Amino acid sequence: MKYKIFIINLDRSVERYQHALEQLAPWPDLPIERVSAADGRQMSEAELNQYYSFSLNQQYYHKILKPGEKGCYISHIWCWQEIVAQQLDFALILEDDFVVKSNLSALLSEISQLTEKWHYIKLAMPNKAQPVMRCQPLGGGFSLVHYKKHPVSTVAQFVSLAGANLLLEKAVPFYRPVDVMLQYHFDLGIKALGISPQPFCPEHSFDSSIYTLDKADKNQRLFLMNRVSYFFQSQLFNLKTYGLKSLLTARKLTE
């Protein structure tokens, strides 16, 4: 299997990149490639609008995206494009504020041998754990999990070649944050899974390079409509895919 590890890193964030390399130092033979992150604050409107749709944002999302959110999404697009350009079987895409919690070499070995079709595998999330409807043991002490609600955060994930192609086709142009977009995997046709125990977690000591203290105005009507729509769409998808019993017995895993 041909794969790479992409580390998304702003050119000015030297300390964060050094931290990322230190986290991966126990596995010196891993194929690592730094991806110079898109800096939404420095990009022109024309550059941003190659990927971002303001009209779709106004129509379907409850707030205008900040420059950092746009840059984050575009950086992930560039990684998906590299997966396709290099014809990788999959890539491990990391934002530069990650902490490794597991044996990365063993995890990569398990994913390389995975026979089940997949597009996207979430490897980290914020503090709030999500209920799991199905858990399939892998080797190396890992399990492949199917979440009831796909977690937010894009600090660490596997993306397959088929997944990258689908994301480039279905998730560009964008109008909402990349982690929110991935929660609508059932609309995109993306098979989105997870790994337990989670192999990565965010490093919270760094200041966010995406979010700022100013809060964008929220369209409360759209916000509530999206919440209700997502709930019913996701419940219907889970019911059709996993069945009523799995939906009702979904539980959070103890890691």
**Whole-angstrom distance, CA of residue 143 vs CA of residue 195:** 6
Q: What is the CATH number that goes with domain 3-248?
A: 3.90.550
**Which residue has 């399990």 as its token pair?**
143
- Inform me whether the pLDDT recorded for 254 exceeds 90: no
Triad 53, 54, 57: Cα angle to 5°: 90
CB 248 within 8 A of CB 133: no
Q: What is the pLDDT of residues 166-206, one digit of tens each?
A: 999 999 999 999 999 999 999 999 999 999 999 999 987 76
Q: Which pTM was predicted?
A: 0.94
Q: What is the pLDDT of residues 58-81, one digit of tens each?
A: 999 999 999 999 999 999 999 999
Q: Report the mean per-residue pLDDT for the chain.
A: 93
**Whole-angstrom distance, CA of residue 39 vs CA of residue 24:** 24
- Inform me whether the pLDDT recorded for 215 exceeds 70: no
- Inform me whether the pLDDT recorded for 112 exceeds 80: yes
